[in-house]
């Protein structure tokens, strides 16, 4: 018995090694390893937690873009350096966003990209400023993320701005939304008067709601915002909020949602029989993703949203969208996957011109960016203004038609004519 036990005994070190290897496989997503010279990019998104759906879309978009850059020979001016992605997960918590930014930098990330959620992104900014790591925000709309640093640099409190954003800001979301609302109403030949703004009360929702109200006050259109109803995110119940909206006798409901709150809000609007011309969102997730369409079905039909969107008139976008659909198990190439995809290509373009991994040289190259090959719907090439934002990152009005999100406004981006007011049910 003892003899057989000694022959089958597994040495403790083997067990430990196995455990460590197992933990490494299970606990840590393996970065894309590359041979030869590499440039490491930390890619941080909410891959778990309430925003895991869009966060995982971002990660897949970034992965596909890095594979495409590497397959085309990497960064040629840096000896064909391959992009190596070091993944981080904010768990949809701002404090974790900060520690993940520190972790990926400690693991050698020379640039950072992320992080979808404005709260986490804002928490990452002090880290990149302190550690001097150029940070391209692929998605996050809250204005202060870049504006605060730009102000600190202007006032001489900080030397260099390391954070840049290729995504519409909250205020530009608002300006475009107000413009598209008015244009769509005019084109449809109707004059809705009463708009009720409903929004999720997190940093993103607050900032976008504020941007929408400010743009409305500045533009003075023919329609009014008659009530503003915020809800705690994630909500457990929105029936009273919808009753309140109904009491304001709206023509239009303008919601700023997250995926979970959109699933509560839209059925509730139907149940409480709001007699409205349509649901038109000033820009937010939750109103177009394939997962949302599978759950909400008819409740999403004819819903419009002014949102950053891919340019499907571009054949390259169509090709990438097809690949994305295959690799994601049937999901649409949309705002999240698309801007993360473009983000990696912008980083590759910057590095190609920087010819160096020095952070300040990279920042100089970022400032001189003029990248015209993006897959998203831009108003011009990717450039960065004095705040570090891309003024050409604009939104498109999309609508769910035949259970598919389609670009419907402005005219140059439209693939189909919108249906507004929505047909009576």
Partner 1 sequence: MDPTLIGQGLLSGLLFGGVYSLMAVGLTLIFGVMRVVNFAHGDMMVWGMYLAWMLSTRLGVDPYLGFGLCAAALFLLGWAIQRGLVHRIVDAPHEMQILLMLGVALVLENAALVAFGPDPQRVRSPLTAATVWLGPIFVDVARLVTFGLALALTLALWFFLARTDLGQRIRAAADNPYGALVIGTDVGRVYAAAFGIGAACVGAAGALVSPILPFQPAGGLSLSVASFNIVIIGGMGSLVGAFAGGLLVSVAESLGAVFLAPSMKELVSFSLLIVILLFRPAGLFGKRGT
Question: Residues in the site for partner 1, rule: CB under 8 A?
Answer: 47-50, 52-53, 55-56, 92, 201, 229-232, 234, 236-237, 239-241, 243-244, 247, 259-260, 263-264, 267, 270-273, 289, 291-292, 295-297
Nearer to partner 1 by Cβ, of 33 and 425: the residue is: 425
- Minimum CB distance to partner 1, residue 42 (Å): 21
Q: How many helices and strands in the chain, by DSSP H and E? A: 14, 12
Identify the three-state secondary structure at position 425.
Answer: coil
* Separation of alpha carbons 61 and 167, rounded Å: 15
Taking the C-alpha atoms of residue 263 and residue 269, their distance in angstroms, rounded to an integer, is 11
In the complex, what is the shortest distance from the CB of residue 259 to partner 1, in angstroms, rounded to a whole number? 5
Torsion region of 220: left, alpha or beta (phi above 0 gives left; psi -120 to 50 gives alpha): left
Taking the complex as a whole, the smallest distance from the CB of residue 201 to partner 1 amounts, in Å, to 4
271 vs 313 by CB, closer to partner 1: 271
Taking the least distance from each CB to partner 1, the nearer of 295 and 361 is 295
Say how far apart CA 168 and CA 176 lie, in whole Å.
10
Nearer to partner 1 (CB atom), residue 270 or residue 326: 270
Q: How far is the CB of 278 from partner 1 (least distance, A)?
A: 20
Minimal distance, residue 104 CB to partner 1, in Å: 21
CA-nearest of 371, 369, 374 to 384 is: 369
Beta bridge partners of 195: 225, 252
Closer Cβ to partner 1, 174 or 259, answer by number: 259
Report the chain's terminal Cα–Cα distance, integer Å: 78
Q: Supply 396's token pair.
A: 């498109």
Q: Which is nearer to partner 1, 265 or 348 (CB)?
A: 265
Cβ-Cβ contacts under 8 Å for 28 (sequence gap 6 or more)? none
Beta bridge partners of 38: 82
Cβ 57 to partner 1, closest distance in Å?
Answer: 9
What residues have CB less than 8 Å from 56, skipping those under 6 apart?
Answer: 45, 47
**Between 93 and 353, whose beta carbon lies closer to partner 1?**
93
- Give whichever of 28 and 80 is closer to partner 1, judged by the CB atom: 28
Decide: 337 and 324 in contact? Cβ < 8 Å. Answer: yes
How far apart (Å, rounded) are the C-alpha atoms in residues 423 and 425? 6
CB of 207 to partner 1, least distance (A): 14
For residue 319, the minimal CB distance to partner 1 (Å) is 25
Quote the least distance from Cβ 399 to partner 1, whole Å. 22
> With left for phi above 0 and alpha for psi between -120 and 50, is residue 29 left, alpha or beta?
beta
Tokens found for residue 120:
């986490």
For partner 1, which is the closer residue by CB, 84 or 241? 241
Are 264 and 235 spatial neighbours (Cβ–Cβ below 8 Å)? yes
| Residue placing its CB nearer to partner 1 in the complex, 282 or 388 | 282
Residues forming a β-bridge with 378: 393
Nearest distance, CB of residue 139 and partner 1, angstroms: 16
8 Å CB contact between 195 and 223: yes
CA separation for the pair 189, 98 (Å, rounded): 49
Helices 52-71 and 315-327, axial angle in degrees (round to 10): 120
């Amino acid at each position: 018995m003892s003899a057989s036990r000694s022959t089958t005994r597994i040495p403790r070190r083997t067990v430990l090694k196995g455990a460590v290897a197992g933990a490494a496989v299970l606990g840590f997503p393996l970065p894309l390893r590359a041979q030869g010279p590499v440039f490491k990019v930390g890619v941080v998104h909410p891959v778990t937690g309430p925003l895991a759906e869009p966060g995982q879309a971002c990660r897949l978009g970034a992965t596909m873009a890095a594979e495409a850059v590497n397959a085309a020979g990497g960064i040629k001016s840096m000896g064909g350096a391959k992009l190596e992605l070091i993944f981080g997960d904010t768990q949809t918590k701002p404090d974790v966003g900060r520690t993940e930014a520190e972790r990926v930098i400690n693991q050698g990330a020379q640039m950072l990209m992320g992080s979808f959620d404005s709260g986490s992104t804002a928490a990452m900014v002090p880290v990149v400023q302190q550690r001097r790591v150029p940070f391209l925000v692929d998605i996050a709309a809250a204005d202060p993320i870049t504006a605060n640093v730009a102000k600190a640099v202007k006032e001489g409190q900080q030397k260099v701005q390391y954070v840049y954003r290729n995504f519409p800001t909250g205020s530009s979301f608002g300006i475009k939304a107000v413009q598209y609302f008015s244009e769509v109403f005019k084109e449809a030949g109707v004059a809705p008067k009463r708009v009720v703004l409903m929004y999720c009360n997190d940093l993103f929702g607050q900032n976008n709601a504020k941007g929408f109200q400010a743009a409305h006050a500045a533009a003075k259109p023919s329609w009014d915002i008659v009530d503003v109803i915020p809800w705690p995110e994630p909500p457990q119940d929105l029936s009273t909020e919808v009753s309140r909206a109904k009491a304001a006798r709206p023509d239009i409901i303008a919601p700023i949602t997250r995926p979970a709150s959109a699933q509560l809000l839209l059925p509730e609007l139907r149940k409480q029989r709001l007699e409205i011309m349509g649901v038109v969102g000033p820009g937010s997730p939750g109103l177009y993703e394939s997962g949302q369409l599978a759950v909400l079905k008819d409740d999403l039909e004819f819903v419009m949203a002014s949102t950053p969107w891919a340019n499907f008139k571009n054949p390259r976008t169509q090709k990438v969208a097809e690949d994305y659909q295959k690799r994601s198990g049937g999901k649409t190439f949309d705002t999240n996957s698309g801007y993360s995809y473009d983000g990696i290509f912008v980083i590759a373009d910057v590095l190609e011109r920087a010819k160096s991994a020095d952070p300040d040289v990279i920042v100089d190259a970022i400032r001189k960016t003029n990248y015209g090959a993006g897959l998203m719907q831009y108003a011009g090439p990717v450039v960065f203004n004095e705040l570090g934002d891309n003024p050409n990152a604009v939104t498109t009005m999309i609508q769910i038609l035949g259970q598919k999100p389609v670009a419907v406004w402005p005219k140059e981006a439209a693939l189909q004519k919108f249906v507004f007011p929505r047909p009576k049910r």
